[in-house]
A and B are shown apart, each in its own frame.
Chain A
Amino acid sequence: MTLLLGVLEEGLIYGVMALGVYITYKILDFPDLSVDSTFPMGAALTASALLAGINPVLTLFLSFGAGALAGCATGFIHVKLKVRDLLSGIIVMTGLYSLNLRFAGGRANVPVFTQDTIFENPFLAGIMPQWLSPYLMVLILFLIIIICKVLLDLYLNTRSGYLLRAVGDNEALVTSLAKDKGMVKILGLAIANGFSSLAGCIYCQHKGFFEISVGTGTIVMGLASVIIGIQLLCPENGTSFLSALKLPQVRPTTAVIVGSIVYKACISLAISMGMEANDLKLITSILFLVILVVSAERRKKVKSHA
């Protein structure tokens, strides 16, 4: 049970980040590596903010805003300075590493165990019954991610959201609509990195510390979650097991969150089967490779049948 709750908690935290990766990878078709640095940025800012006595709920918004700014930086470098997409992300990622250390007060490790967080504070302790406490974290995380998901879904159905989807689909059309495609990309990157930073903020409050290396491999986790989720629940050709079982279709955003949980479950399975925690990144990358190969395999099959 603890294991299951652990998987859910991790999956939901990284699910928030995966929503951001969904925007860059699936909608914008932009390989954005800056999430590797915006995730720890959210954590660093949150650790400092909590120590400074800022309201934990407020740190959520603060982190999202800071992440959005970093996303704008990546977008600006790519769109206005005409640097290749991958390199723009790498530049921001590398630069933010130093900035993150500064945000954390010059330390690579900041514990915030003693501070109030969104999971542990006098207000919650006052209203939550005792029997609920083991599930409290999952419940709060679930609430946060649902809010994020619904807001993102709503946004993608606004006019601005339509334009965001159009720019990844067909840049020429956005130009035809008399809109600057560069600005739309910057907007997309801002939202994506906002989510990534928000996830870092939640991570910090969940674990009770900031650590400079928490961001390493974030993009891989995000991509894996997106690909698993989409392949599993709403694949391109439209025939998932959901339609086979006559279950209602789900939105890609839901699929991405499920993908994140499934991914974390795979990792935790690998560890419980005897892999060491030190092997974590190795498992991460191998699992990602397997997912990529498997999904590519399926695509080929679909093509040859068509």
Chain B
Amino acid sequence: MLKLNNISKYYNTGTVNEMCLFQDFNLSVEKGQFVSVVGSNGSGKTSMLNIICGSIPVDSGTIYIGDENITHMPEFKRQRRIGRVYQNPAMGTCPHMTILENMALADNKGKSFNLRRGTDKKRVDYYRENLRSLGLGLEDKLYVKVGVLSGGQRQAMALLMSTLTPIEFLILDEHTAALDPKTAETIMELTGRVVKEKKLTTIMVTHNLRYAVEYGDRLLMMHQGQAVIDEAGERKAAVRIEDLLERFNAISIECGN
């Protein structure tokens, strides 16, 4: 479904600070798989997401979705098939527009942004229904600007908006990291539900080892541009937080931290 072939990515090429992040990195994700990705800072988790989404170019290698080579496709075109939720809750919504307007924007993804009415009155009930499923009472605040909502509410909206239209991939970039533990829990439960309901192929980067263990059917641990742990299916189900911590410690000692 998604294939990264022999990806290489260097930062600061040609300077003394040149750093090789990925060298011949390969990853393939099956349709319907929910991959949790953990790893220390600078291990290449977010870079990997950025490479998939086209936010940063690769130095060599190819990226395929199905049979289509998307290596040189601009970021905005790839987003037609990808939904992405960022760490920063402000990234997924428009703060100066109302909840209803935000929903209408998201609902129009993949269609033409023409001179028809921005908010289709007939869709309002549908939006309300979707918002109600979040269980945050947002369905009664349709005309409130998103900027006044809390981070958790905004992130819930961002998640809802990115999955409102049919997409193939859901990319979650530490999407609970900026939230308090209680809200993070709510958003994570919501994520699990949405992914299951819409049968989305998902890649989730997280620093929360418990989420990585509890959610998803495949687990990757990244280190220096390599996947040092890659378990799926039953073996993934058997992974415990302690195992991950142990591996983390081993890596840290190796690096001299």
**B106 contacts across to A, CB distance below 8 A:** 177
Give the dominant DSSP class at B's interface.
loop
List 13 contacting pairs A-B, 8 Å CB cutoff, sorted by A.
A157-B119, A159-B112, A160-B113, A166-B94, A166-B105, A169-B94, A169-B97, A170-B93, A173-B91, A174-B76, A175-B75, A176-B79, A176-B109
**B75 contacts across to A, CB distance below 8 A:** 175
Q: How far is the CA of A172 from the CA of B53 in the complex (A)?
A: 12
**A174 contacts across to B, CB distance below 8 A:** 76
Known: A162-B104, A178-B110. 6 other contacts (CB 8 A): A159-B115, A169-B97, A173-B105, A174-B76, A176-B79, A177-B108
**B86 contacts across to A, CB distance below 8 A:** 172
CB pair B116 A176 closer than 8 Å: no
Q: How far is the CA of A180 from the CA of B117 in the complex (A)?
A: 20
CB pair B95 A170 closer than 8 Å: yes
CB pair B114 A157 closer than 8 Å: no
CB pair A180 B76 closer than 8 Å: yes
Which of A161, A177, A179, A181 interacts with B118 by CB under 8 Å?
Answer: A161
**A264 contacts across to B, CB distance below 8 A:** none
CB pair B95 A181 closer than 8 Å: no
Q: How far is the CA of A181 from the CA of B113 in the complex (A)?
A: 12
Which of A155, A165, A181 interacts with B94 by CB under 8 Å?
Answer: A165
Q: How far is the CA of A173 from the CA of B113 in the complex (A)?
A: 14
Q: Please name the 5 residue pairs, one residue from A and one from B, whose CB atoms are nearest each other, closest first.
A: A169-B94, A178-B80, A162-B118, A178-B79, A159-B113
CB pair B118 A159 closer than 8 Å: yes
| Closest B residue by C-beta to A161 | B118
**A165 contacts across to B, CB distance below 8 A:** 94, 96-97, 101
| Closest B residue by C-beta to A154 | B115
Verify if A77 is at the interface (C-beta below 8 Å from B).
no
**B92 contacts across to A, CB distance below 8 A:** 172-173, 176
Cβ distance A191 to chain B, nearest Cβ, rounded Å: 13
Verify if A163 is at the interface (C-beta below 8 Å from B).
yes
| Closest A residue by C-beta to B94 | A169
**A239 contacts across to B, CB distance below 8 A:** none
Verify if A158 is at the interface (C-beta below 8 Å from B).
yes
Q: How far is the CA of A177 from the CA of B109 in the complex (A)?
A: 5
CB pair A178 B116 closer than 8 Å: no
Which of A157, A170, A176, A179 interacts with B113 by CB under 8 Å?
Answer: A179
Give A248-263 as 1s and 0s: 1 = Cβ < 8 Å from B's Cβ atoms.
Answer: 0000000000000000
**A161 contacts across to B, CB distance below 8 A:** 118
Q: How far is the CA of A165 from the CA of B94 in the complex (A)?
A: 9
Cβ distance B23 to chain A, nearest Cβ, rounded Å: 28
195-242 of chain A: CB within 8 A of chain B: none
- Report how many residues on chain A are interfacial, defined by Cβ distance under 8 Å: 22
| Closest B residue by C-beta to A168 | B96
CB pair B114 A159 closer than 8 Å: yes
| Closest A residue by C-beta to B120 | A159
CB pair B97 A162 closer than 8 Å: yes
**B96 contacts across to A, CB distance below 8 A:** 165, 169
CB pair A169 B95 closer than 8 Å: yes
| Closest B residue by C-beta to A176 | B79
| Closest B residue by C-beta to A165 | B97
Cβ distance B119 to chain A, nearest Cβ, rounded Å: 8
Verify if B233 is at the interface (C-beta below 8 Å from A).
no
Verify if B66 is at the interface (C-beta below 8 Å from A).
no
Give A144-167 as 1s and 0s: 1 = Cβ < 8 Å from B's Cβ atoms.
Answer: 000000000001011111110110
Cβ distance A30 to chain B, nearest Cβ, rounded Å: 15
Give B118-159 as 1s and 0s: 1 = Cβ < 8 Å from A's Cβ atoms.
Answer: 110000000000000000000000000000000000000000
CB pair B76 A175 closer than 8 Å: yes
Cβ distance B54 to chain A, nearest Cβ, rounded Å: 9
Q: How far is the CA of A181 from the CA of B90 in the complex (A)?
A: 17
| Closest B residue by C-beta to A164 | B113
60-91 of chain B: CB within 8 A of chain A: 74-80, 83-84, 86, 90-91
CB pair A173 B79 closer than 8 Å: no
Cβ distance A105 to chain B, nearest Cβ, rounded Å: 37
Cβ distance A248 to chain B, nearest Cβ, rounded Å: 15
**B114 contacts across to A, CB distance below 8 A:** 158-160
CB pair B108 A159 closer than 8 Å: yes
Q: A160-B115, A162-B104, A162-B118 are in contact. Are A177 and B79 (CB under 8 A)?
A: yes
Which of B77, B101, B104 interacts with A178 by CB under 8 Å?
Answer: B77
Residue from the set A163, A169, A174 with the largest chain B CB neighbour count within 10 Å: A169
Residue from the set A165, A176, A178, A181 with the largest chain B CB neighbour count within 10 Å: A176
CB pair A155 B76 closer than 8 Å: no
CB pair B117 A178 closer than 8 Å: no
| Closest A residue by C-beta to B95 | A169
CB pair A176 B93 closer than 8 Å: no
**B202 contacts across to A, CB distance below 8 A:** none
Q: How far is the CA of A99 from the CA of B105 in the complex (A)?
A: 40
Residue from the set B76, B109, B116 with the largest chain A CB neighbour count within 10 Å: B76
**B108 contacts across to A, CB distance below 8 A:** 159, 162, 177
12-65 of chain A: CB within 8 A of chain B: none
